[in-house]
Each structure stands twice: as structure tokens, then as C-alpha cells.
């Protein structure tokens, strides 16, 4: 789904940039946000969940504010150097907010957004680390390859979006094949396979 969304996003973004304006790319989030709000309203208006609990509002505020300042501080380094007071202050406040978020999740939240104890499981921690590294690699590749295609080779935004489709479709195909392989190996043997194994052992 990530690869499909990335391919569709790059394609639509290229078409909008070339035939409309790059500003229209920002409005793509509006219908998605409207759908998310509609679904949230529908869920909130439905029957209450069986398990009661208070939402982790403080954790949500700390995580959102911390990540927003972290991204904002990094993105603004094109105008303010890494050592400038604005960048240092922004990143320091982001670190404080994210540290406070971890403290709240570990100690005071009754229904934490993230159950940090899950990361004690090596499989969960490894899967999250792998997802982080792959996401960072793909996002970086999309960014720099798009700059190379447009600013070095002089290809238009629409054609650039189309040229990303093989990469995204390859990721989709690879994900499906890997998932099927893992499921095939992890699934318990069928009755026919068990019968065949018993016959082979007997013989």
C-alpha cells in the first residue's frame, strides 16, 4: 500500500505540477483529511467500545508537537544553518517534547498511544527498524531521482511521475511475493502433507 500510494502520489503530483500548478499538490490532502474526519465522526457516533478508557490526549499533543517541530527544524535548514539559534532551539524543543511523550507513555497514560513494552520483543523492534530504514531509503530515492530527472535531464514533471511507476510497481510485486513466501513457510502443514510425511517416515 505504501508503494502504491507513493506511485499514485508521484504520478498525480507530476500531472498537477505540469498542467495546473505545484500549489494544487497541497490541496490533494484536503479530500483525504475530509474522509478521515468523516470516518472518525462515524466511529465516535457509534456504540461505545466494550473496553472503556480515556484517550491519551496529552500523549497525542506531545507526539504531534514534537514531530512537527522536528520536521520543521530540519526542513528550514535551507534558510537557517544547523548551528543557527533558530534551528538549535527548534530541534531542542522537539527533543524535549518527544522525551516527555515517552515519559508519559511509560508512566502516566492509562491507555497509551504506543505500548513501549512491545519493543522489548525482538521481532517487533526489528520490524519497526527495518520499516524505518526502508521508508527513509525510498523517500530519499524518490526525492533525489526526481531532482535528477527534472533538473539534470530536463524531463517534465508529468513524464517524471510516469517514470517512477516501474519502481513503485516493482516494490508492490516484491512485497506480494515476499508475503506469500513467508505465509507459505509459516503456515502449518496441511493434512495431505502430514499424511505424506507419516508415510515417508514409516517407509
Is there a domain that residue 137 lies in?
A: yes
Residues 88 and 137 both lie in one domain: no
195: pLDDT confidence band, cut at 50, 70 and 90?
Answer: low
63: pLDDT confidence band, cut at 50, 70 and 90?
Answer: very high
Residues 127 and 167 both lie in one domain: yes
Residues 177 and 131 both lie in one domain: yes
Work out the average pLDDT over 44-65: 76
Is there a domain that residue 167 lies in?
A: yes
Is there a domain that residue 196 lies in?
A: no
Is there a domain that residue 50 lies in?
A: no
* pTM, full prediction: 0.59
DSSP result, the chain: -HHHHHHHHHHHHHHHHHHT-GGGGGGGHHHHHHHHHHHHHHHHHSPPPSS-----HHHHHHHHHHHHHHHHHHHGGGTS-TTSHHHHHHHHHHHHHHHHHHHHHHHT-SS-SS-GGGGGSHHHHHHHHHHHHHHHHHHHHHHHHHHIIIIIS---HHHHHHHTHHHHHHHHHHHHHHHHHHHHHHSPPPHHHHHHHHHHHH-
Residue 54: the pLDDT is 72
Work out the average pLDDT over 77-100: 92
Residues 100 and 137 both lie in one domain: no
Q: Which of 38, 174, 63 shows the shortest CA–CA distance to 113?
A: 63
Q: Which domain holds residue 84?
A: 55-110
> Does residue 96 register a pLDDT over 90?
yes
Is there a domain that residue 140 lies in?
A: yes
Is there a domain that residue 98 lies in?
A: yes
Of 91-105, 141-155, 187-201, the least confident: 187-201
Is there a domain that residue 87 lies in?
A: yes
Q: Give how many domains the chain has, as a whole number.
A: 2
Residues 77 and 98 both lie in one domain: yes
Residues 65 and 89 both lie in one domain: yes
Is there a domain that residue 195 lies in?
A: no
Residues 174 and 153 both lie in one domain: yes
Residue 203: the pLDDT is 54
Residues 105 and 135 both lie in one domain: no
Work out the average pLDDT over 117-124: 85
Amino acid at each position: 500500500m505504501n508503494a502504491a500510494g507513493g506511485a499514485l502520489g508521484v504520478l498525480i503530483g507530476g500531472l498537477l505540477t505540469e498542467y495546473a500548478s505545484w500549489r494544487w499538490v497541497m490541496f490533494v490532502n484536503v479530500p483525504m483529511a475530509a474522509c478521515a474526519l468523516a470516518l472518525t465522526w462515524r466511529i465516535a457516533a457509534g456504540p461505545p467500545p466494550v473496553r472503556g478508557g480515556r484517550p491519551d490526549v496529552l500523549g497525542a499533543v506531545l507526539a504531534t508537537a514534537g514531530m512537527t517541530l522536528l520536521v520543521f527544524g530540519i526542513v528550514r535548514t535551507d534558510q537557517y544553518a544547523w548551528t543557527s539559534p533558530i534551528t538549535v532551539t527548534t530541534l531542542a524543543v522537539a527533543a524535549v517534547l518527544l522525551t516527555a511523550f515517552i515519559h508519559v507513555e511509560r508512566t502516566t497514560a492509562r491507555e497509551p498511544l504506543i505500548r513501549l513494552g512491545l519493543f522489548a520483543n525482538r521481532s517487533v523492534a526489528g520490524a519497526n527498524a527495518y520499516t524505518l530504514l526502508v521508508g527513509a531509503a525510498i523517500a530519499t530515492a524518490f526525492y533525489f531521482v526526481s531532482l535528477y530527472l527534472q533538473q539534470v535531464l530536463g524531463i517534465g514533471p508529468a513524464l517524471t511521475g510516469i517514470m517512477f511507476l516501474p519502481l513503485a510497481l516493482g516494490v508492490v510485486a516484491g512485497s506480494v511475493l515476499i508475503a506469500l513466501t513467508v505465509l507459505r513457510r509459516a503456515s502449518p502443514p496441511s493434512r495431505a502433507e502430514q499424511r505424506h510425511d507419516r508415510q515417508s517416515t514409516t517407509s
